Amino acid sequence: MHDGIPGFEMPHPEDVRRAAESLRLLADPTRIKILWALLQGETSVACLAELVGAAPTAVSQHLAKLRLAGLVEGRREGTFVYYSVEGSHVRALLTEALGHATAGAR
């Protein structure tokens, strides 16, 4: 059926699975706010908690999941861990998602 469409091909199943997992992780308002804050620069759990209006323990749990997904990374400095976004693709993804949400609200 799609054989006649030049260049048509489905993505690799493992890529589809990873994309779905990343989108599932982003389906949480606190995680979106955490990532958006980290796009502004590296910061600590305490600062993120204040920025997103959540308890530091909750922010830590969100960061752990985001780190396992490869979306953020941590850098230890003494007793503090400073987090940052891993890769420019996160900015593009969030910008698109927020743009889509804004356009849909009109």
Residue 50 lies in a domain: yes
The reply to whether 65 falls in a domain is: yes
- pLDDT tens by residue, 29-51: 999 999 999 999 999 999 999 99
Instruction: Indicate whether 48 belongs to any domain.
Output: yes
The pLDDT > 90 percentage for the chain reads 57
Band (6; pLDDT cuts 50, 70, 90): confident
Q: What is the CATH number of the domain that holds 19?
A: 1.10.10.10
Residue 45 within a domain:
yes
Residue 62: domain span: 13-104
Q: pLDDT value at position 76?
A: 94
User: Is residue 6 domain-resident?
Assistant: no
Q: What is the pLDDT confidence band of residue 1, given thresholds at 50, 70 and 90?
A: low
Confirm if 24 and 71 have CB atoms less than 8 A apart: no
> How many angstroms separate the Cα of 86 from the Cα of each of 3, 20, 67, 83, 91?
38, 18, 9, 9, 10
Is residue 92 in some structural domain?
yes
Is residue 89 a part of any domain in this protein?
yes
Residue 58 in any domain: the answer is yes
Number of domains present in the structure of the chain? 1
Over 90: is that where the pLDDT of 3 sits? no
Tell me the H-state helices in 1-88: 13-26, 29-39, 45-52, 56-68
